[in-house]
Amino acid sequence: MSSQSLEDGGTAPWRDQRLSPTERAEALLPMMSVEEKIAQLVGVWVGADASGEGVAPHQSDMISELPQWSTVIRYGLGQLTRPFGTAPVDPVSGARSLAVSQAQIVAASRFGIPGQVHEECLTGFAAWRATVYPTPLSWGASFDPELVEAMADRIGRSMRAAGVHQGLAPVLDVTRDYRWGRTEETIGEDPYLVGTTGAAYVRGLERAGVVATLKHFAGYSASRGGRNLAPVPMGARELADVILPPFEMALRLGGARSVMNSYAEIDGLPVAADRGLLTGLLRDEWGFTGTVVADYFAVRFLQTLHGVAEDAADAARLALRAGIDVELPTVDAFGEPLVQAARRGEVDEALIDCALRRVLIQKIELGLLDEGWQELPDDVASLRFDDEASRDVALRLARESVVLLRNADVLPLPVGSRVALVGPLADDPMAMLGCYSFPNHVGVHHSDFGLGLRIPTVRDELARRVPLLTHEPGCAITGEDTSGIPAAVAAAAAADVCVLAVGDRAGMFGRGTSGEGCDAVDLRLPGVQSDLVRAVLATGTPVVLVSMAGRPYALGPEFDGAAAVVQAFFLGQLGGQALAEVLTGAVNPSGRLPVSVPRDAGGLPSTYLAPPLGRRNKVSSIDPTPAYPFGHGLSYTTFEWSDATVVGPGEDPTAWPVDGEARVRITVANTGERAGTEVVQLYLHDPVAQTTRPVVRLIGYTRLPLAPGEVAHVTFGVPADVASFTGLTGQRIVEPGDVELRFGRSSGDVAAALPLRLVGTERQVGFERELLTSVRVEPLVAVAQSA
């Protein structure tokens, strides 16, 4: 039998679409040599830069002279790494070039298997001239999974049209320490918010035909001291109850087909070598059947950074045994070192076959082994990565993500007022972009190409709406130069209102104040920005403080003089417009904090998911109470919450079976004079449990748009499984006893608390448990408004 067809001229079984993907993979696998098998387990990063200006940790250390292209693809190729996301390339030219590479891969190998192409896509397709969407912290601030799903669908469609099959997103790390530079990449500090939002992103990307890759599995965000790629001092309960649930939700509710390992080491064991996590939990317990891909260079890091492998072959053995299927970004330990180790019998070929089987099945599911597969789309000439529909979604998400933290009747900006716009973020287009946007991630190394997009600044957009606008930057984002502060102070003193824009510049590995490898010593504003804030506040002019950042910075007593405070987390290419619309009142803010805003810059930051001893108490002089709690956000209208009640059958609806559902309802009315959106949040309080529990944790939420005078009932249906936690034995349980369901405007502002009692015997639950609280909204007759 030839490589392409049977002797009788029939279709080769691995190309027979009448067979299942598993059957097709099983037909191909035994025909492949060791070299051909291993070639399917590596990626190749043709355009990688070893100069030291890289976009991956230790890239300059790990990238050496690659073999010639013909040598690399001689036995086939598993993946092509970032053909669009390594250097600026025109969309049409890039697609044509990729098609040529694919044709060469197909022609070179015996079985004609194309490469699977992956790209970054956290804030949009990370390609030149592609729409840049808000960062994940903004997704969380929107509390709008449906819109996040629509965004991911747009991203996936543009990727698939270009010939890309896999996206390295979403990030499902739950924020544990705001000093961590990659905080901007996380959705927030609550696993339910991260999980529901992350699952929505996965649904959108997968619906577009692109494999979503969950990262970083697991524990990466809980590093000691908030340092990137640092040891994680985390116990099994924190891992199970805080870190893992978003991954469970994204797999079960989103249908993700790939997982990327975390760089972390947990209790001394690097995740890339942790068979208990990558195989025992992920595959055996959770039933995951997709691929596990290595974070960039993570396999070799077992030798070079973790010191648990003797050499490259040993690192390959450990990673393969743990459950990693594909080495990214480029051929290294899974190349010749693994081939030779397999030849010597040091690596069981059954491990290679196990990984290969999963890789082949995924390629078959993507249609790469079908007879009709073609490397170049028919409509490639019309390929665009940034269009009106995508920009519309980006703008809507940016608008919903702006959080109004404080407002002493200074916003919206009064019509006709003299406004001074000061601060280093006021007129900087890069202030809108996260570190994984193409302009920040790659474009900074190719400045002669330009941004590739029009990215209006806050100054650009505010000037269109405020005729009497003056501007002074005051200082830079970093550095110690205060020479511009007097001019900013003079501008503020001469104005009716001052808008002061401070915050971050995203970058990579120390080239920014936020982003991968850009960790913070404390939560003070970078550079001399705090000096600028204090000087401007001292003028007595009402100040609107706008924080445009990748993490929450401390807003302690020195910021109390601000008349208004607005928080924005890298709002994407149309963030300037969204902010200007909120400041001028064209858009009513509806964002809510996905992370708490701390009051103090020093000490170890703590999130709202704290047990009683993690809150303010009499045994420590440190008060961790935040300036603004998780879930907080204001509006330009007012809402009244009333009539909270437990609803349900039976004489005692407060009796909640450990295998049943509790239903609670509240009435919300817009009592203001303009339309607005309230975010109704539901929290669980478990006062007595067999292990310590967070005082409150989010278990349900919904966005509720209401016209002036409009009223609605909001009913949550809470499965008892949602109240489960890791008990004394290490198993997840639903424990009988008294609990409260609390309706909250935020985690720190309880509108109503409803006591219930979980009844029955202790019940063990697992991966198949109910994960979601249902929500039903019933509009009511509008109330008469007061004159």
pLDDT in tens, 70-107: 889 999 999 999 999 988 999 999 999 999 999 999 99
For residue 101, report the phi and psi dihedrals to the nearest 5 degrees.
-60, -45
- DSSP for 107-136, please give it: HHSTT-PPPEEEE--BTB--STT---PPPH
Cβ-based neighbour number of residue 505 at 10 Å: 26
Residue 787 has pLDDT above 50, yes or no: no
Q: What is the pLDDT of residue 54?
A: 53
Relative to beta strand 166-167, strand 211-217 is parallel
The secondary structure of 16-81, three-state, reads CCCCCHHHHHHHHHHHCCHHHHHHCCEEECCCCCCCCCCCCCCHHHHCCCCCCHHHHCCCCCCEEE
More confident residue, 624 or 571: 571
Which residue has better confidence, 23 or 4? Answer: 23
Identify the residue whose tokens are 């939700």. Answer: 249
Question: What proportion of the chain, given as a percentage, has pLDDT over 70?
Answer: 95
Q: Give the torsion sign (CA, 254, 260, 265, 269).
A: positive
Bridge partner list, 422: 472, 500
Q: What is the pLDDT of residue 536?
A: 98
The 10s digit of each residue's pLDDT in 192-249 is 999 999 999 999 999 999 999 999 999 999 998 899 999 999 999 999 999 999 999 9
Q: If you average pLDDT over every residue of the chain, what do you get?
A: 93
Closest CA to 436 of 155, 92, 134, 50: 134
pTM: 0.95
What the block records as the tokens of 286 is 């959770």
261 Cβ neighbours under 8 A, 6+ residues apart:
216, 217, 271, 272, 278, 292, 293, 294, 295, 298, 324
- Under a CB-based contact definition with an 8 Å cutoff, are residues 442 and 55 in contact? yes
Nearest CA to 81 among 59, 109, 53? 59
Residue 9 has pLDDT above 60, yes or no: no
The pLDDT of residue 288 is above 80: yes
Residue with tokens 């900074």: 444
pLDDT at 715 exceeding the cut of 80: yes
Sign of the four-CA dihedral 442, 447, 449, 452: positive
pLDDT band at 382 (very low <50, low <70, confident <90, very high): confident
Query: Is residue 741 over pLDDT 70?
Result: yes
Segment 326-353 mean pLDDT: 95
Distance between CA atoms of residues 139 and 148, nearest Å: 6
Residue 311, pLDDT > 60, answer yes
pLDDT in tens, 152-175: 999 999 999 999 999 999 999 999
